Amino acid sequence: MASGQSAAIPVRHLNGTRGPASVYLVLGLILAATLALSLSFGSNSIPLPVTIKLMYLKLTGASIDPVYRREETVLFLIRLPRILMAFLVGAALSSAGAAYQALFRNPMVAPDILGVSSGAGVGASLAIVLGLPTAGLHSLAFVFGLGAVLLVLAVTHLVGHGKSLLVLILVGIVVSSLFGALGSFIKYLSTDDQTLSAMVLWLMGSFSKSGAWLNVPVMAGALLIGLGPLIMTRWQINALAFGQEEAEAMGVSFEKIRLIIILASTVLTASAVALCGLIGWVGLIIPHLARFLVGPNFGRLLPATVLGGGLFMLAVDSVVRILLPGEMPVGIVTSLLGAPLFIYILCLGRKVWI
């Protein structure tokens, strides 16, 4: 999302007012506690001491008593990979959101601003209609998500406004709408209720069928690939807060940094959407919260965003598993929580952002 006028991210006090080390420590401790509770509780609850014992035995390579066979299966084959996937997806989406907000100097920008989510949705819907296996669905969703962003870049270049961020946003909205219409057309043509149901459930976002351990290293690799360029160019990204002309006057290649941010954020978002479906609001609200904690300095903001996004996604998925009946798609919960939380954040920061 983006407003017509850019609400520039303030550059006063780039280093923030709070010590980042203390923020990272608190977030890490909360994350550790949430991880322990998530491992222990669910439809098949495991006592926390048993969870700690099994984790210790697994880490040390010691043999596990057969009496704990059920707990071992639930913990290491079902629950742990899902928890790791939730953290990785939350970290990826929030990091992409922070990078885009820095690029467009607009706190209202989300990771799907250039149509990656709509493109991935079309790819996944097409894969479901064609009856492709899970790996094919994930691959086609990623390819279509990446293709949507490349189409945005190509159209922006063709219209002759390659350097205009406003034109880039407008083209992104058009391409997103186009792929959204294609997705709706595919669903309209689907006559099989089971296929249509599978498409709708996937578009809601969920970790229940994210591939167990199979996709955890894939998502971890995508996170590293996406975060690497953002970390290496964090000081140039900070310069973007002063505007395009000022950044170029400071020796920053605006086109190069823009391309790096777009490609890195696309890899992060497309991978998350391809593996787990559409999960909204995480990439929009978490960067706001992290900015309140450590300030807008991107070198400090990015680690806080990674920890905060992973923690938020893990907590939401744990609530879905533990408290809500059945397997409600996590994308529904993030939307229900995200909208009012974002309004509250805007009210808190109205003197800063508006």
On whether residue 237 sits in a domain, the answer given is yes
Residue 94 pLDDT level (bands cut at 50, 70, 90): very high
Print the domain residue range for 204: 45-353
- pLDDT, residue 353, reads 43
Q: Give the CA dihedral 228, 231, 236, 242, nearest 10 degrees.
A: 120
- pLDDT, residue 325, reads 62
Number of domains making up the chain: 1
53 contacts: CB under 8 Å, gap ≥ 6: none
- pLDDT, residue 349, reads 60
Model confidence at 339: pLDDT above 90: no
CB 247 within 8 A of CB 103: no
CATH number for the domain including 86?
1.10.3470.10
pLDDT in tens, 180-211: 999 999 988 887 888 888 888 888 888 877 66
On whether residue 58 sits in a domain, the answer given is yes
On whether residue 195 sits in a domain, the answer given is yes
- pLDDT, residue 9, reads 43
On whether residue 323 sits in a domain, the answer given is yes
154 contacts: CB under 8 Å, gap ≥ 6: none
If you average pLDDT over residues 85-93, what whole number do you get?
A: 96
On whether residue 57 sits in a domain, the answer given is yes
Buried residues in 158-179 as b, exposed as e (16+ CB within 10 A)? eeeeeeebebbbbbbbebbebb
CB 283 within 8 A of CB 342: no
On whether residue 223 sits in a domain, the answer given is yes
pLDDT in tens, 138-154: 999 999 999 999 999 99
Torsion over CA: 79, 342, 173, 187 (sign): positive
On whether residue 111 sits in a domain, the answer given is yes
On whether residue 33 sits in a domain, the answer given is no
